[in-house]
């Protein structure tokens, strides 16, 4: 394909965060294909020397206000300069949206209907999903598509559900059988007989860490390796108080932000991810491709992969703590964990869990091609 000019729009570009990683990964894929790519954002954190990034700051008072103003600024600076404008947040003026969010809150009461935020978020969503929109929609999981179609009357030709977006470099199942597991467990102070659960989350309450804390008294032999936060964080004060009250605080190992997730997965015996809300749950698939069994919930878009692989257990909705504890109890059995781990490795080797970002790059190219032909 002839080189095309591509604008990628994301309100906040940080050095961490799944959506930001996807944006950067897609940008680099498109650049490798010879295209001109510029990323536009309102604010950024981190250095990306290989990327062309333009900041469009504004000081609107609310999140939805900042997004709306960013969309206006974006339209002004991109008009006539690019063959395609692809966004990672809902906003008007996009040729294509890579959507990692659930539908906006629907107005259920008078207060909802007069709430400016509810109306503004609905307006931003309508710009991409409404009947007058021509935005091509890249969704990340089948349950997400079903949720949007239950609200909006969508032309199926505008929708594409992408395969998962796991980077192949993050799949290192061989580490479980190497010295890495022993060495990492030693660094973490884990005895060979200690059962280690891994929990990875930036928002522990949303991802169900309180459910893990509530289960720990039943499993006094377990240590929980927590990545992405610490019990000393201000946002975790209630969780810390609950852990102290239950007498399980010493079972929790706070690791903060880490980049060595495959090594931590090699050291762990189980990924525990009892989330309340998760469009995908990418960490679930990262566990599977690293041979780590998973206990999760059915609200996670990638939960069906756990069932398809027979690589763990999925707790249904409405969530039941007793069912969660029972699933964790099954994982006490080393033979069961070994069977789940083997199934995970087989599934990862035979299933496309990796091409999502390539497919997104293809879709952007195709959208640009249509623009050029027009």
Taking the C-alpha atoms of residue 307 and residue 313, their distance in angstroms, rounded to an integer, is 7
Question: pLDDT band for position 374 (50/70/90)?
Answer: very low
* The architecture CATH gives domain 5-163+355-373: 3-Layer(aba) Sandwich (3.40)
The predicted pLDDT at position 1 comes to 58
Cβ(83)–Cβ(52) below 8 Å:
no
Give Cβ neighbours of residue 99 (< 8 Å, ≥ 6 apart): 90, 128, 137, 138, 139, 140, 144
Stretch 104-128: mean pLDDT, rounded?
84
Which of 183, 339, 167, 364 is CA-nearest to residue 270?
Answer: 339
Return the higher-pLDDT residue of 230 and 306.
Answer: 306
Say whether pLDDT at 168 is over 70: yes
The length of the chain, given as a count of residues: 374
Give Cβ neighbours of residue 78 (< 8 Å, ≥ 6 apart): 7, 40, 85
DSSP β-bridge partners for residue 136: 96
Pair type for strands 84-87 and 96-99:
parallel
Q: For CATH 3.40.50.2000, list the domain ranges present in the chain.
A: 5-163+355-373, 168-350
Stretch 186-212: mean pLDDT, rounded?
95
Helices 18-32, 356-373: crossing angle, 10 deg rounding: 60
Tokens found for residue 363: 């879709």
Tokens found for residue 320: 């039941």
Stretch 132-161: mean pLDDT, rounded?
95
Stretch 182-210: mean pLDDT, rounded?
95
pTM of the model: 0.91
Residue 200, classed as helix, strand or coil, is strand
Strands (E), 103-176: 136-139, 159-161
Tokens found for residue 126: 């309508």
Taking the C-alpha atoms of residue 285 and residue 163, their distance in angstroms, rounded to an integer, is 12
Stretch 5-14: mean pLDDT, rounded?
96
Tell me which of 3.40.50.2000, 1.10.3720.10, 1.10.10.10, 3.40.1190.20 is the CATH number of domain 168-350.
Answer: 3.40.50.2000
* CA angle centred on 338, ends 337 and 342, rounded to 5°: 115
Work out the number of other CB atoms within 10 angstroms of the CB of residue 258: 12
DSSP run (H or E) holding 243? helix 237-246
Task: For residue range 226-264, list pLDDT tens digits in order.
Answer: 999 988 888 899 999 999 999 999 999 999 989 899 999
Say whether pLDDT at 161 is over 50: yes
The predicted pLDDT at position 117 comes to 82
């Amino acid at each position: 394909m002839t080189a095309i000019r591509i604008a990628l729009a994301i309100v906040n570009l940080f050095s961490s965060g799944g959506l930001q990683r996807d944006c950067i990964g897609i940008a680099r894929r498109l650049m490798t294909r010879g295209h001109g790519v510029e990323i536009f954002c309102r604010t950024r954190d981190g250095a990306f020397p290989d990327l062309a990034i333009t900041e469009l700051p504004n000081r609107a008072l609310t999140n939805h206000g900042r997004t709306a103003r960013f969309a206006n600024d974006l339209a002004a600076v991109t008009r006539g300069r690019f063959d395609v404008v692809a966004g990672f947040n809902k906003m008007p003026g996009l040729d294509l949206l890579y959507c990692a969010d659930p539908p906006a809150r629907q107005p259920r009461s008078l207060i909802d209907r007069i709430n400016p935020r509810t109306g503004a978020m609905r307006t931003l969503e309508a710009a991409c999903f409404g009947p007058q929109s021509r935005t091509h929609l890249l969704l990340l999981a089948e349950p997400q598509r079903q949720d949007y179609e239950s609200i909006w009357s969508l032309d199926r030709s505008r929708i594409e559900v992408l395969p998962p977006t796991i980077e192949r470099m993050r799949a290192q199942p061989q580490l479980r059988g190497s010295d890495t597991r022993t060495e990492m467990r030693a660094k973490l102070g884990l005895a060979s007989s200690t059962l280690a659960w891994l929990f990875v989350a930036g928002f522990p309450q949303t991802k169900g860490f309180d459910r893990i804390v509530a289960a720990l008294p039943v499993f006094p032999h377990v240590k929980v390796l927590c990545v992405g936060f610490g019990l000393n964080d201000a946002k975790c004060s209630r969780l810390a108080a609950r852990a102290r009250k239950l007498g399980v605080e010493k079972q929790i190992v706070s690791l903060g932000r880490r980049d060595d997730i495959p090594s931590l997965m090699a050291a762990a015996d189980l990924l525990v991810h009892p989330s309340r809300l998760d469009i995908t749950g990418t960490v679930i698939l990262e566990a599977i491709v690293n041979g780590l069994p998973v206990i999760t919930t059915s609200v996670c878009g990638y939960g069906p992969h756990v069932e398809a692989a027979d690589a763990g257990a999925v707790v249904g909705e409405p969530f039941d703590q007793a069912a969660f504890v029972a699933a964790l109890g099954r994982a006490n059995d080393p033979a069961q964990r070994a069977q789940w781990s083997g199934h995970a490795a087989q599934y990862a080797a035979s299933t496309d869990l990796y091409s999502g970002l390539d497919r997104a790059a293809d879709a952007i190219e195709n959208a640009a091609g249509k623009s050029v032909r027009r």
